[in-house]
Copies of this chain bind each other. A is one copy, B any other.
Amino acid sequence: MANRRILGIDPGSKVTGYGIVELTDKARVCYIASGCIRSGSGAFMVRLGEIYRGVVAVIDEYEPSELAIEDVFVSKNVASALKLGQAKGVAIAAAISRDLPTFEYSPRKVKKSLVGNGSASKGQVQHMVKAILSLQKSPPTDASDALAIGICHVNTSHS
């Protein structure tokens, strides 16, 4: 069976983190790539275009088989929730346009999966991402969060 390759996405209207991990046939999780799509501070419609095209470009370059995305359910207020929802929506649409099945995980579920504690700190999650993927140093926060979502999906769907 071909290795499973997961694209994790940490959605945001200004910065969208992405991280790609692969589950090898030896049941090891390997780091493939990670980074941030910076959609800047211009008109919101332009930013949505940057996010959509950015995620499509990542999918076309790394050819993941699945998308895992954070199920955000809290936000400062209704206006910021509508913006974050749209940013997340265009990222999901990029996956739909490439026929990738999409899975959602709450921040609590991601923390529990990596650290064993749903209330773990961001620092603890970053530490585990670095350890699990045998990285020399921690990727930037948004990329690290995206890798964590990808690892959580591997753990959840593999077991």
Contacts and interface: CB of A to CB of B under 8 A. Distances in A.
Interface of A: 45, 48-49, 52-53, 72-75, 77-79, 81-94, 96-97, 102-104
Chain A to chain B: the 7 pairs with minimum beta-carbon distance, closest first: A85-B85, A89-B89, A93-B93, A81-B81, A86-B89, A90-B93, A82-B85
A77 B48 CA distance: 23
B90 A45 contact: no
Given A48-B93, A89-B93, A93-B90, A73 B79 contact: yes
A26 B66 CA distance: 50
Contacts of A53: 96
Contact of A85 (B74, B89, B94, B97): B89
